[in-house]
Amino acid sequence: MDIIRVIKDTDYPILDLYWAMAGSHIDSREMYPHESSYIFERDGRPLYAVAAHLIRGLPLAYIEAVIRDPNKRPDFDALYSLQSYLEVILKAQGYARIIGIPKNEQLCKHYEKLGYNRVDAVIYTVKEL
């Protein structure tokens, strides 16, 4: 069964493992804010995770650290569902713009498929809510 939910403490060790398998060693507790990071869970295990960093006082949030279970195939529908969920949550909280921060060109293409507009002068992509 698929669900989208806020990140839990038990997710952090799994996300650390996903990042290590992707060749990066990060502390996911620092990367994923507890109150604004989300998991797309499939059959009780995180399939995707995303960090939403909220810029207090501005109607702006930025998205980064999208990671997928490296043992699973990419699932664009799952990623799209997670993005749509984020948009609803952020818009309800008063945010009007999302900035995507992809780590490579392949992720830039995913962001574009999700409706972000590429800004050529920088590596960021922007999506109006």
Residue with tokens 């529908």, as numbered in its chain:
77
Q: Helix or strand or coil: residue 80?
A: helix
CA distance 125 to 62: 10
Task: Calculate the alpha carbon distances from 14 to 3, 26, 43, 67, 119 in Å.
Answer: 17, 12, 15, 11, 33
pLDDT digits (tens, 9 = 90+) for 56-68: 888 999 888 889 9
> Residue 116 carries which DSSP code?
P
pLDDT digits (tens, 9 = 90+) for 22-81: 899 889 999 999 999 999 999 999 999 999 999 888 899 988 888 999 999 999 999 989
User: Which residue did the predictor score with more confidence, 46 or 127?
Assistant: 46
pTM of the model: 0.82
Q: What are phi and psi of 14, to 5 degrees?
A: -65, -45
